[in-house]
């Protein structure tokens, strides 16, 4: 186990292994803590890049939030440290990498696989919302897989503790709109129910191989399709799955199916044995 107390970590505490992936502000490496032999993912972020993109505050928030979370479907942040030029995040290793890669390789998932991921996401979101944290960036790129193929929500770059109202519209709108709910796309106030919409988008993409409102290179068309909830569900999708998607992709956030009902929905219960 990594010593739990607020230890002052440094690079010399770790043996660095292969690169696991490349992120926006640096690389992520396999690493072993020398003292305990504990294997982690060490995420290296360059201060210059962070400062240039003005995301230091967001990073500190991400670290603060993720550091306090303990849930089997949420990637652990064990600690962090920095030197003159870099910030290092000591993260739980997600041995099976990105869900995104799995989805790209398989094109789409069988319904029982998608149902398991939906159940794990719903449980993680129940925990998060219970702590007044909204993720706001649920999408395959930010979901990792543990050793037993269990889903781990990583990347709290966009999460916030509610009550912090700020228009993140600018930065948000420069990424892809595909996963954003109408209230964010229209720059209106939003709450944790944004994660319910994204869960619906995720389920659709896992079963269909592409997000529902995706348009080749037309941002405006995607925008219009989102606010009109212009949803077309292919015939190969079962009626239970289709029902759940339609109950999550609802324009009015208050009408979206609550997480407890997601977990008890026939699409999930059909495939996933429920917690005792």
Ligand X SMILES: Nc1ncnc2c1ncn2[C@@H]1O[C@H](COP(=O)(O)OP(=O)(O)OP(=O)(O)O)[C@@H](O)[C@H]1O
Residue numbers annotated as active site: 137
Of residues 43-102, those binding ligand 9QK (CB under 6 A): 47, 50-51, 56, 59-60, 63, 80, 82, 87
Q: Taking CB positions, which residue lies at the least distance from ligand X?
A: 23
DSSP state of 160: E
The site partner of 258 among ligand X, ligand 9QK, none (C-beta below 5 to 8 Å per kind) is none
Q: Which residues contact 129 (CB under 8 A, 6 or more apart)?
A: 192, 195, 259
Q: What is the closest distance, in whole angstroms, from the C-beta atom of residue 257 to ligand 9QK in the complex?
A: 35
98: contact with ligand X by CB under 6 A: yes
Assess 245 for contact with ligand X (CB under 6 A): no
Residues 128-167 vs ligand X: string with x where CB under 6 A? Answer: ----------------x---------xx-x----------
Torsion over CA: 247, 248, 252, 254 (sign): positive
What's CA 133's distance to the chain center, in Å? 13
Indicate whether 183 belongs to the interface with ligand X (CB under 6 A).
no
DSSP-derived 3-state class of residue 256: coil
Q: Restricting to residues 33-92, which ones interact with ligand X according to CB under 6 A?
A: 41, 43, 75, 91-92
Q: Does 175 bind ligand X (CB under 6 A)?
A: no
Q: CA 39, 42, 44: angle at the middle one, nearest 5?
A: 170
- Which residues contact residue 211 at a Cβ distance below 8 angstroms, ignoring those fewer than 6 apart? 178, 179, 201, 204, 205
Instruction: Choose the binding region for ligand X from 19-27, 79-87, 128-136, 179-187 (rule: CB under 6 A).
Output: 19-27
Q: Record the tokens describing residue 189, joined without a space.
A: 């106030």
């Amino acid at each position: 186990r990594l010593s739990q107390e607020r230890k002052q970590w440094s690079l010399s505490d770790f043996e660095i292994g292969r690169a696991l992936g490349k992120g926006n502000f640096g690389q992520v490496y396999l690493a072993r803590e020398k003292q305990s032999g504990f294997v982690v993912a060490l995420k290296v972020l360059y201060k210059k890049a962070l400062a240039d993109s003005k995301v230091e505050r967001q990073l500190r928030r991400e670290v603060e939030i993720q550091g306090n979370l303990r849930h089997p479907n949420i990637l652990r942040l064990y600690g962090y440290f920095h030197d003159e030029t870099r910030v290092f995040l000591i993260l739980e290793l997600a041995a099976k990498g990105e869900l995104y890669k799995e989805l790209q390789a398989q094109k789409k998932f069988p319904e029982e696989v998608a149902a398991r991921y939906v159940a794990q996401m719903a449980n993680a979101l129940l925990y998060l919302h219970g702590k007044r944290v909204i993720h706001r960036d649920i999408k395959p790129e930010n979901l990792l897989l543990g050793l037993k193929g269990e889903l781990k929500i990583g990347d709290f770059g966009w999460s916030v503790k509610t009550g912090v109202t700020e228009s993140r519209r600018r930065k948000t709108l420069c990424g892809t709109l595909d996963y954003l709910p109408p209230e964010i796309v229209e720059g209106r106030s939003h709450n944790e129910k944004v994660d319910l919409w994204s869960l619906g988008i995720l389920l659709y993409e896992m079963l269909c191989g592409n997000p529902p409102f995706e348009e080749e290179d037309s941002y405006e068309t995607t925008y219009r399709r989102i606010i009109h909830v212009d949803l077309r569900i292919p015939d190969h999708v079962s009626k239970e799955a289709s029902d759940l998607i339609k109950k999550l992709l609802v324009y009015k956030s208050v009408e979206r199916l609550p997480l407890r009902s997601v977990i008890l929905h026939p699409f999930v219960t059909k495939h996933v044995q429920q917690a005792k």
